[in-house]
Homo-oligomer: A and B are copies of this chain.
Amino acid sequence: MAHAVTIKDIAKILNVSVSTVSRALRDTHDVNKETKERILALAAELNYKPNFNATGLAQGSTHNIGVVLPFITNYYFSTVITGIQEVAYDNNYNIILYITNDSPERELSIIRNLSLSSLDGLLVSVSSNSDSCGHFQEIINEGTPVVFIDRVARNIDTSKIMQDDYNGAFEAVEHLIEQGYSKIAHIAGPKGLDFTEKRLNGYLDALKKHNISTREEWIIYSGFSQECGETDTIHLLKGEQRPDAIFAVNDRKAIGAMLALKKKHIAIGREMGVIGFTDDPICELISPSLTTIAEPAFDIGRTGCELLLKHISKKYFHPHEVILPGKLIARESTMRSY
Q: Which residues of A contact B (CB under 8 A)?
A: 1-2, 4, 49-54, 56-57, 62-64, 71-75, 77-79, 81-82, 85-86, 89, 94-99, 110, 113-118, 141-143, 226, 255, 259, 262, 282, 285-287
Contact = CB atoms under 8 A, between A and B. Distances in A.
Contact of A118 (B51, B98, B282): B51
Contact of A98 (B54, B85, B114, B262): B85
A95 to B, nearest CB: 5
Nearest to A287: B259
A143 B2 contact: yes
A309 to B, nearest CB: 16
B49 A115 contact: yes
Contact of A85 (B99, B143, B255): B99
B78 A2 contact: no
Given A4-B116, A118-B53, A82 B62 contact: no
Given A2-B142, A226-B285, A287-B259, A94 B118 contact: yes
A182 B154 CA distance: 60
Given A49-B116, A95-B97, A262 B287 contact: yes
A115 B51 contact: yes
A1 B79 contact: no
B117 A97 contact: no
A71 to B, nearest CB: 7
Contacts of A116: 4, 49
Given A73-B75, A78-B72, A85-B97, A53 B56 contact: yes
A79 B262 CA distance: 31
A57 B51 contact: yes
Contacts of A262: 287
Nearest to A53: B56
A59 to B, nearest CB: 10
Contacts of A114: 49
Contact of A82 (B4, B72, B75, B79): B72
A136 to B, nearest CB: 15
17 contacts: A2-B141, A2-B142, A49-B113, A49-B115, A51-B117, A52-B62, A71-B82, A72-B81, A73-B75, A73-B79, A77-B78, A86-B99, A89-B98, A89-B110, A282-B285, A285-B286, A286-B286
A315 to B, nearest CB: 10
B255 A285 contact: yes
Contacts of A95: 96-97
Among A54, A73, A95, A282, chain B packs the most CB atoms within 10 A around the CB of: A73
